Amino acid sequence: MSIITVSGEMGSLRDELALCISQQGGLECVDRRTLMEAVEGLVELSRDEHQLLAEQGPALLDMSIRRRRVFAAFLETVVLQYAQKGDVVLVGRGANLLLRLVPGVLRVRTVAPLELRASRLAQRDNLEMDRARQLATVVDQQRRAYLAHVFGADWSSPLSYDMVLNMGRLSLDQAATTVLDLAAHPEFQLSDESRRLIADMVMASKVRRQMVAEVDVHALEVTSEDGVVTIAGYVASPEDRRRALNLARQTPGVAEVRSALEVSPTLMKFLP
């Protein structure tokens, strides 16, 4: 079973490569369209959240801190559930960072010179070159800001990936073949331990999603191991603490809840 994440600069053929990998490798491609279809009817998304799902627009800065938490928790759950199914190519949305601690996940990044990326965008969207350069630069800045906010990580750091492909020098077929050759190695096949870890992450994400939607919890940390969920963070009142723990206990699959939640209205003013 394989999980491949594909991230990349605007105009570096990220989405095209992900599709090519999925077609050649017989894997499911989880891109923007797939996520849109997955969330349709489950939650009501605002304009800003649709932009974030599409990795476009200054939506992150426009949303309230609380709404950012709710959206990030929801997106995390959806992406992790696709990862749990296995044999998938996960496109963007911080999947490489979300799954960074899971052994066997292959994390790929696409890059290309700015002029080439701008030329591709200009041709695809019928843009002037100056506008295409601006689009590539701005969208990359927005992706970097979103992932820095959610994961506290540098989107462009090569240390966040197993393979960085210069799509100014490789064809889609060459790149896809290279990725799939590496993915076939035992080091990039999911072990039973990896599957267990992902299942625990799915459970923790479901609890986190329930909590942030109903209770204002700062510096929230949720971990899960075989149905035992541990929660840490800060709330404003004992009532909020009780509500948060009850929501965790009511999440399907949770066998036990261990709490390190603290009541501290003062600390909440300074913590994210």
* pLDDT, mean over the chain: 86
Distance of CA 39 to the CA centre of its chain: 14
pLDDT-based confidence at residue 32 (cuts at 50, 70, 90): confident
- Domain of 142? 3-188
Question: How many structural domains does the chain have?
Answer: 2
Strands (DSSP E) along the chain, which ranges? Answer: 3-8, 28-30, 88-91, 106-111, 163-166, 218-225, 228-235, 256-263
One domain for residues 180 and 198:
no
Distance of CA 242 to the CA centre of its chain: 29
Share of the chain above pLDDT 70, in %: 86
One domain for residues 255 and 154:
no
One domain for residues 200 and 149:
no
One domain for residues 125 and 211:
no
Residue with tokens 């992406």: 79
One domain for residues 198 and 72:
no
What is the arithmetic mean of pLDDT over 38-55? 55
Higher pLDDT, 66 or 144: 144
Would you call 77 helix, strand, or coil by DSSP?
A: helix
One domain for residues 235 and 143:
no
Higher pLDDT, 177 or 155: 177
Q: Crossing angle of helices 65-85/192-214, nearest 10°? A: 150
**Of the residues 129, 162, 188, which one is the last residue of a structural domain?**
188
Helix (H) or strand (E) holding 115: helix 114-125
One domain for residues 183 and 199:
no
For the entire predicted model, the pTM comes to 0.84
- CB distance 207 to 225 below 8 Å: no
- Per residue in 198-248, pLDDT (tens digit) is 999 999 999 998 888 888 888 889 999 999 999 999 988 899 999 999 999
